Amino acid sequence: MLETILESQALYSAVMFILVLSILVFVHELGHYLAAKSVGVKVRSFSIGFGKELFGFTRKNGERWKVSLIPLGGYVDLYAMDEDEVKDMDPKEVPEDAFFKKNVFARIWVVFAGPFANFLFAIVALTALFSFVGIKEPSTIVGSVMKDMPAEKAGIESGDKILSVDGVEVKTWGDLVEQISGSQSDKDLAVKVLRDKQEIDLILQAEETEIENILEEKIKKRLIGVTLSAEYAETKEVGFVEAVETSFVHTYNMTALILKSVKRMVTGEMKADVGGPLTIAEQSGKAAQGGVYALIMFMVMISINLGILNLLPVPMLDGGHILYCLIEIFTFGRGLHDKIKLAANYVGLSLLLMLMVFAFYKDISRIFF
């Protein structure tokens, strides 16, 4: 029975992983596709997945749209993406719809449009979510109470709902954190909680404590010693304008957090902890089980990660192609020598393979050991 349940959960996670990744890959590649069409570059094929074609269709203009066997990415095949493809042709005879014949800024736009589409997806998805569902934030219901901290000494219990701090109403966990963090040292705080439908007034003092945040940075914060309950959330209804504003802020904050995390992992300030396909599959299943809100928030996070990953200045990634174009600009059209570019591509490919192996290793270690 247990094996059947585990197998069904694994299958569900695998299906959700393929669905989520396919949507985000489609968004990314559609960005490249539309940008290529906007500057007159010929597109030969559009594929979700790599390897052998499973099914597809050919448009009247000759473009082949298909779904391929390995669902770990995708590609848009542009005509003459590499100059070597038409090196035997007379330059004057190379069609104008060849990618490499476009000016450098048009090429940058085509390459950049893929990651840009991932960020745009995040903003559009969040705007729709906030407009129709509202903005969900953790409530002020206490999950657990830390031993020997002010909350425990004052008598706060797990399941209490904190209503106000010093007369200021707190509706969300963010409001509560803001009030506690902004309190003065050695100042008594009047805290009102709801327990079993009864309001109780308590007095406590916040305690300045050194903690480690999500980026493994040691910071000092004023705390009372309670953790939030993941089971409860407050939903705030917002209009379209506020939904758009909040989606931009959320996308910006998540992007900044990911970039700072990458920087700290590269410099060794925090441990390198990356999730591979198995982790993403597992989290896809859990997000889908959490409902539409959780699933869209998860997709937004993955989409932003894809956008950032592809913009890294590593050969073989979009960021590497942009780097080549920038070098071409600063060298007045000469660009990198072919041998240097070939060597750089091998280095980039090696780095990507190493990252993939490391991600699989982390997945396997986490699941089986």
Strand 161-165 with 142-145, pairing: unpaired
User: What is the C-alpha to C-alpha distance for residues 117 and 102, in angstroms, rounded to an integer?
Assistant: 21
How many C-beta neighbours within 10 Å does residue 118 have? 24
Active site residue 29: yes
- Strand segments (E) across 213-365: 218-223, 226-228, 233-236
User: What is the C-alpha to C-alpha distance for residues 185 and 118, in angstroms, rounded to an integer?
Assistant: 45
Residue 199 pairs in a beta bridge with 194
Burial of 8 (0-12, 13-18, 19+ CB in 10 A): exposed
Structure tokens at 96: 């104008």
Phi, psi (rounded to 5 degrees) for 325: -65, -40
Contact between 325 and 104 under an 8 Å Cβ cutoff? The reply is: yes
Smallest Cα–Cα separation from 41: which of 78, 2, 7, 8?
78
Distance of CA 83 to the CA centre of its chain: 34
- Of residues 3, 7, 29, 269, which has the active-site annotation? 29
Structure tokens at 369: 């050991």
Please count the residues of the chain: 369
Residue 74 pairs in a beta bridge with 48
User: What is the C-alpha to C-alpha distance for residues 325 and 102, in angstroms, rounded to an integer?
Assistant: 12
Q: What is the DSSP string of 337-366?
A: -HHHHHHHHHHHHHHHHHHHHHHHHHHHHH
Active site residues: 29
